Amino acid sequence: MSRPVNGTVLFDLDGVLLDSGQTMLATLAGVATAALGRPITPADLPPRALTIPRAEVLTVLGVLDADAACERWWDAALATAGAADSCGRRLFPGALEGLMALKDAGMATGLVTLQTRARLPWLLPEAALALLDVTVCRDDAEPKPAPDGIQLALDRLDTGAGEAVFLGDTVGDIRAARAAGVAPLGAAWGYATAAALAAAGAVAVLDSPVLIGPGLTTHIGRRMTAPRAMPHRR
């Protein structure tokens, strides 16, 4: 693929493009139910269940081998939760329009996610997938906070780190982007707070998904110092 003239915007999936919080909670509860042999509901999950590693959540609930439980039951629980949850495949308001605006402006787009490739059709609407020039999943590279996935996306797009930004909603996302040399942007509508994203080193923290669009590329090449507020415009 030829190098994009107008810049590249890379995204995390859950909590940035996809409003999947309730689906993820139901998935955790489903895995715990299968592993423990008794009903577990999202209300039974520990505080901050969406912001700590899933193995830690399951261990708190009493699952003895959390990694093995996830390996065995996660995909089935996720598919079931997504099918039952009307929000399971819902993009945040403005996300699809922002992706369309990026493509209309001639910019390259990409996804770097901790989800596996097999799960993408369950999670992301086809209209959004069609607007992404590259998708890098946990099958393809060491997951974030390692920079490998972001670097792989840049390689596939033939784009330098200084020509891209990465929009993520967790401390791990911000650290991965910084390690890859890409300007990290924080999505405060996701799983981490604006303060946490700023402390992790985001060059800017957005407060609404309606800000997704060509305006993100104004941060390309910014020095990784303190973040600043962004105005409400695309």
Do the Cβ atoms of 212 and 94 come closer than 8 Å? yes
At residue 164, φ and ψ (nearest 5 deg) are -140, 160
At residue 233, φ and ψ (nearest 5 deg) are -155, 155
Q: Tokens 């600043």: give the residue.
A: 228
Active site residues: 12
Beta strands in the chain (DSSP E): 8-11, 108-112, 134-136, 164-168, 183-187, 204-206, 228-229
What six digits make up the tokens of 29? 């509860």
Distances from the Cα of 220 to the Cα of 42, 62, 139, angstroms: 39, 45, 28
Helices (H), the chain: 21-36, 54-61, 66-84, 95-104, 120-123, 126-129, 148-157, 171-180, 194-200
Count of Cβ atoms closer than 10 Å to residue 119 Cβ: 19
Do the Cβ atoms of 8 and 109 come closer than 8 Å? yes
